[in-house]
Amino acid sequence: MTSSRATRTDTESQGAGSRSSAHLLSIADLDREEIEELLRLTDTFVEVGRRPIPKVPALRGRTVVMLFFEDSTRTRLSFETAAKRLSADTMSFSVSSSSLNKGESVRDTIETIEAMGIDAVVVRHKSSGVPAQIARWTSASVINAGDGWHQHPTQALLDAYTARSHLGSLEGRRIAIVGDIKHSRVARSNIEIFTSLGAQVTLVAPRTLLPSSTNSWPVDVTQDLDSVLPTVDICYLLRMQQERMTEALVPSLREYTASYGLTSARADRMAESAIIMHPGPMNRGVEIASEVADRPSAVITEQVANGVAVRSAVLFALLSAARQSSNSSPDQLISHEELISPEEPASQAESLVPEETAHVRNSQ
C-alpha cells in the first residue's frame, strides 16, 4: 500500500490531531499494484504464523482499538490475533456496556477513545459510511471491518489471497458469486478486487436479491446457477442475510436452496480444479450442503486462517509506514526485515527489570 494511493485524512485541519493518517476504507482505495503488494506482504505473515512463536515486534508500542457496533466472530478475533502477533496493544469496545447506551454519540465515543492514545481503529457498523466518517474525526488510522451493505475490504483481500494460493494468477479466471448480492458488502468488495486482478465475475441470484441496477458493475448476471457451474474456477457462496432484509425476498428458504443452493449434485458438475468459497458464517443446508462444505475443494476454513495474515499485513502497512514517516532522520528508519524478525528471547529475570533500572545495575 503506497502513500500515493492510500486514503488519507489530514486531521490537523480538522482539529483531531497533527498527523496525516492512512486508512483502508474500501477496495477502491487500492490500485492493482497496491493489492499485489499487500498480497505479497501477506506471504511474509503466513510464514510468521508458522513459527513456533508466531510473534514479531513490528508494532510494539502501538495501540489498536476494536470498535465493533455489530456482532462478529471471525473478523474481530482475526484482527485481535493479528494485532497481538505484531506486538501491538489492543483495546476492545463493547456497545452493550458502553456510554452509547446512555446517549453518547459515536463522535464523542471516538474522541474519548482517542484521548487515551491510539494508533488505529478497526470499525464495523451496520450503517454504510460510518468508518469514512470516523476517519474525519480521528488522527488514528481507520480500517473498515464492514459497513452496512457497502464494503468489507480485508475480507476481499483474504479471499483474493486464498484464491491465488490455489489457482495462481486470477487473470482470466471465471468466478461465480452466488446468493444475496443485494445486501452483501462482501460481494461488492470482491467484485472490485477480483476484476482488478483480471478475473471475470458472474453474479448468480434471483432478481429480488440483486441491486436495482448492476449496469455500472463490470460483471455478468444470470439467474441460472446450473448453466455456469461447469465453467467456473471459483464458486463463491453468500449466505442469506435475513437480518438486513425488511421484506420477504424469496418464497422460502427451501425454494431458494432448490434453485441456488450448492448441493452435492451441483458440486459434482464443477471442474476438478475448481474451489468453493464462503465468507462465513455458513447456513449449512441452505446456500451449501453440509457434505459439500466438508469437501477438500471447499477452502472456507483456509479463508479464516489467511484472514489473520492478511490483517497483519494491513496493520503493518498502515502503522509501520506511519511510524517510519514520522521519524526525524532516515537513519532511524526500521527495515522490513527487522520489523518481522522474531524477538530475541530474554531471561525471565531480565524481562521483569525496567530498562532504567537495568542500566543502573549494569553500570555498578
Q: Round to whole Å and give the CA distance between 68 and 311.
A: 16
User: What is the Cα Rg of the chain in Å?
Assistant: 22
The pTM (predicted TM-score) of the whole model is 0.85
Q: Round to whole Å and give the CA distance between 353 and 97.
A: 36
Q: What cell numbers appear for 200 in the block?
A: 471475470
Q: What cell numbers appear for 103 in the block?
A: 446517549
pLDDT digits (tens, 9 = 90+) for 287-301: 999 999 999 999 999
**133 contacts 150 by C-beta, under 8 angstroms:** no
> Domains (ranges, CATH) in the chain?
7-148+305-325 (3.40.50.1370), 154-298 (3.40.50.1370)
**85 contacts 58 by C-beta, under 8 angstroms:** no
What's residue 250's pLDDT?
Answer: 80
Q: Round to whole Å and give the CA distance between 350 and 361.
A: 11
Q: Round to whole Å and give the CA distance between 299 and 89.
A: 31
Q: How does the average pLDDT of the chain come out, rounded?
A: 85
By residue count, the chain amounts to 364
Q: Round to whole Å and give the CA distance between 64 and 218.
A: 35
Is 262 exposed, middle or buried, given 0-12, 13-18 or 19+ CB atoms closer than 10 A? buried
Q: pLDDT by residue for the chain (364 residues), tens digit each?
A: 543 345 544 443 344 444 456 999 999 999 999 999 999 999 999 999 999 999 999 999 999 999 998 888 899 999 999 999 999 999 987 776 566 656 778 899 999 999 999 999 999 999 999 999 999 999 999 999 999 999 999 999 999 999 999 999 999 999 999 999 999 999 999 999 999 999 999 999 999 999 988 999 999 999 999 999 999 999 999 988 655 444 567 878 889 999 999 999 999 999 999 999 999 999 999 999 999 999 999 999 999 999 999 999 999 999 976 655 554 333 333 455 655 666 655 443 333 334 443 443 444 4
